[in-house]
Amino acid sequence: MNYEKLAELLFANITKTPADYEKEFPKRNLPDGAKVTRLGPSPTGFIHLGNLYGAFVDERLAHQSGGTFFLRIEDTDDKRFVEGAVETIITSLKFFDINFDEGAGMDGDTGSYGPYHQSRRAEIYQCFAKEMIKKGQAYPCFLTEEEIAEIRAKQEANKENPGIYGKWAKSRELTIEQIEENLKSGKPYVIRLKSQGDWACEPDKAKTISVEDAIRGTLTMPENTADVVILKANGIPTYHFAHVIDDHFMRTTHVVRGEEWLPSLPIHVELFNALGFELPIYCHTAQLMKIGEDGNKRKLSKRKDPELSLDYYRNEGYHPAAVREYLLTILNSNFEEWRIANPDAPIDEFEFTAEKMSNSGALFDLNKLNDICKDVLVKIPAGELCEFMKKWAKEFKPEILHLFEGNEAYIEKIFDLGRTGDKPRKDLIYAKQMFEFISYFFDDYFKIEDEYPQNVSQEDAKAVLSAYLETYNHQDDQSEWFGKIREIATNLGYAAKPKDYKKNPDMYKGHVGDVSTVIRIAVMGRSQSPDIWEIQQILGEERTRQRIAKML
Ligand code: GLU
């Protein structure tokens, strides 16, 4: 077969050569050890936790090493393209402080290794398909869908491996005249790799390949034997081919991708070798799992788990710093230990490594995230939290924005309630919850949510509140104030100290705690809250008195 002639026949329009591309996209001029990583999402409009998880690995590996992190849009499947998807990807990741250095952008591409949309790289892929044809490493395949289905049925019946390979690859044997004939009659075709794998050998004697994965160590797998499609009938590459060409010419050093790509690794290795390209370092990340309703681990699902979508975190108002902190705990097994040793260090000082990543399913747990939020938020100054709330409210709850804007001093006092001292309160989690948590500070949202303790009669509750209102002095310090509550308690037959009540429960109706709960419900609407006296100081005298009077 005259492969040169075949290549010209199929790709007459391709005039550039591989050498041209090697020259156009030279090795990057980066310091030793600098890593080049990329995120390659499909523009489906749905960006999920898995994307963020992968992007975080990419970002850390690149930026920690003085390297480059770029965005490549994998849009070879135009059925899945959604308008605005690129913006969604960029803005969603930016929210979590994940920024690209180059690649697809909101106002076009930046960087000299583009285009960064696969749909705009047809010529490059075709140049290399042509090259492979020239070398007899690839061929046009004219099998129709029906023929392929027939082959599959036969393979199933004979219990043979599925796919087009060796003896099933009928188009391998076509002469150039037959190919010309097929082309003339307009028969559609794809370009397939002519795999050099030994398809005929016994499964247990199959040759293997070994790849060093930065997360998983040495991977040993059977070599590829399949004539996989590299260019589809429309001249657009498959993932396999695009990955190899793009990551070579974009000079990616580390390919971070989900473990669902592991089975196709032998295909990629064969393609890299056939093209004479150096293999990148693969980092196959573990699937994100959660404990399902039945107590078993399962993959996060788009349908069942709203927390899979990144929008979820923005809607709820999770603080990006907390999400980053949490992601690191599931990404690197030594992070938590580091955090204990370095409680106040900026997170970027942690040295992230692929080697410390789990390879057996990363467990995602919303409760754990919430716990981490509490730890992270307690360290964020109230002023910053207030700004964060404003930003969140502007986007997701504009009807409450006015409560924050122009009211910053009030809000800051609220957020700082009980946060000083050695045992600061850790009850702020995410914006939506924070608003719920402090909503009683705003008259429009104040409502009585809880009931008086059962041992306090309506009559006593009234008596407590009227005595409280009568003796209330906003200038009282905390101990004067509490002294008065004790007095009210004693006068009404409640123990001044819980321990007195515990010793002689028959002598009292209850204790001072019950009395303060009555007050708490009147002022805050809730039986649980930070310190009443401090809250009243923030609410101010007038509002405090009004609430008690209203309750009476
Ligand atoms: N477009 C592929 C995906 O979304 C990218 C995989 C890769 O990073 O190589 O799964």
Token pair recorded at residue 510: 């209850």
User: In the structure, what pLDDT confidence band is assigned to residue 80 with cuts at 50, 70 and 90?
Assistant: low
* Closest to 73 in 3D by CA, of 36, 35, 114: 114
pLDDT value of position 223: 96
Q: Which of 297, 302, 462, 550 is catalytic?
A: 302
Q: Is 238 in the pocket of ligand 1 (CB under 6 A)?
A: no
pLDDT, one tens digit per residue, over 171-181 is 999 999 999 99
pLDDT value of position 271: 98
Helix, strand, coil percentages (3-state) for the chain, rounded to 5, are: 50, 10, 40
Q: Which residues contact 254 (CB under 8 A, 6 or more apart)?
A: 35, 36, 37, 58, 61, 214, 280, 281, 282, 283, 354
Q: Is 74 in the pocket of ligand 1 (CB under 6 A)?
A: yes
Cα 23 from Cα 155, distance rounded (Å)? 45
pLDDT, one tens digit per residue, over 341-384 is 999 999 999 999 999 988 777 889 999 999 999 999 999 999 99
Tell me the mean pLDDT in the region 140-167: 95
How many angstroms separate the alpha carbon of residue 86 from the centre of ligand 1?
15
Is pLDDT above 70 for 416? yes
Is pLDDT above 90 for 473? yes
Is pLDDT above 80 for 228? yes
Calculate the alpha carbon distances from 214 to 96, 284, 468 in Å.
25, 8, 67
Pocket test for ligand 1, best of 36, 39, 42, 282 (most atoms within 8 A of CB): 42
Q: Is 37 in the pocket of ligand 1 (CB under 6 A)?
A: no
pLDDT, one tens digit per residue, over 480-534 is 999 999 999 999 999 999 999 999 999 999 999 999 999 999 999 999 988 999 9
How many angstroms separate the alpha carbon of residue 40 from the centre of ligand 1?
5
Calculate the alpha carbon distances from 552 to 461, 537, 540 in Å.
9, 21, 19
Cα 392–394–398 angle (5° rounding)?
115
Q: Is 257 in the pocket of ligand 1 (CB under 6 A)?
A: yes
Q: Which residues contact 488 (CB under 8 A, 6 or more apart)?
A: 464, 467, 468, 471, 515
How many angstroms separate the alpha carbon of residue 261 from the centre of ligand 1?
8
Q: Is 40 in the pocket of ligand 1 (CB under 6 A)?
A: yes
Residue of the CA atom closest to atom 10 of ligand 1: 41
pLDDT, one tens digit per residue, over 108-118 is 999 999 999 99
Is pLDDT above 70 for 545? yes
Q: Is 243 in the pocket of ligand 1 (CB under 6 A)?
A: yes
For residue 490, the Cα-to-chain-centroid distance in whole angstroms is: 56
User: In the structure, what pLDDT confidence band is assigned to residue 214 with cuts at 50, 70 and 90?
Assistant: very high
Cα 141 from Cα 475, distance rounded (Å)? 89
How many angstroms separate the alpha carbon of residue 260 from the centre of ligand 1?
10
- Residues facing residue 79 across a β-bridge: none
Mean pLDDT of the chain: 94
How many angstroms separate the alpha carbon of residue 258 from the centre of ligand 1?
8
Half-sphere exposure (Cβ direction) of 477: Cα atoms closer than 13 Å: 1
Pocket test for ligand 1, best of 117, 239, 247 (most atoms within 8 A of CB): 239
Residue of the CA atom closest to atom 5 of ligand 1: 40
Convert 306-363 into a string of H (helix), E (strand) and C (coil): HHHEHHHHHHHCCCHHHHHHHHHHHHCCCHHHHHHHCCCCCHHHCCCCHHHCCCCCEE
Atom of ligand 1 nearest to the CA of 51: 4
Q: Is 48 in the pocket of ligand 1 (CB under 6 A)?
A: no
Residue of the CA atom closest to atom 9 of ligand 1: 257
* Domain 23-113+238-285 in this protein, CATH class: alpha beta
Is pLDDT above 90 for 288? no
- Domain 295-353+364-377: give its CATH superfamily: Glutamyl-trna Synthetase; Domain 2 (1.10.1160.10)
Considering the chain, what percentage of its residues have pLDDT values greater than 90?
86
Q: What is the CA radius of gyration of the chain?
A: 33
Please give the torsion angle defined by the CA atoms of residues 57, 60, 62 and 63, in that order, rounded to the nearest 10 degrees: 160
Do residues 287 and 361 make contact, with C-beta atoms less than 8 angstroms apart? yes
Cα 239 from Cα 125, distance rounded (Å)? 11
Pocket test for ligand 1, best of 46, 257, 262 (most atoms within 8 A of CB): 257
Is pLDDT above 80 for 147? yes
How many angstroms separate the alpha carbon of residue 70 from the centre of ligand 1?
13
Tell me the mean pLDDT in the region 246-265: 97
Q: Is 42 in the pocket of ligand 1 (CB under 6 A)?
A: yes
The sign of the torsion formed by the CA atoms of 90, 93, 94, 97 equals: negative
How many angstroms separate the alpha carbon of residue 257 from the centre of ligand 1?
6
In degrees and rounded to multiples of 5, residue 16 shows phi and psi of -70, 155
Tell me the mean pLDDT in the region 305-331: 93
Tell me the mean pLDDT in the region 163-185: 95
Atom of ligand 1 nearest to the CA of 39: 8
Considering the chain, what percentage of its residues have pLDDT values greater than 70?
99
Residue extents of the structural domains in the chain: 23-113+238-285, 295-353+364-377, 382-437, 458-551
Pocket test for ligand 1, best of 46, 59, 74 (most atoms within 8 A of CB): 74
How many angstroms separate the alpha carbon of residue 237 from the centre of ligand 1?
14
Atom of ligand 1 nearest to the CA of 243: 9
Beta strand spans in 204-279 (E): 208-213, 217-222, 229-231, 254-258
The yes-or-no answer on residue 447 being catalytic is no
Do residues 472 and 488 make contact, with C-beta atoms less than 8 angstroms apart? no
The total number of residues written for the chain in this structure: 552
* Domain 458-551 in this protein, CATH class: mainly alpha
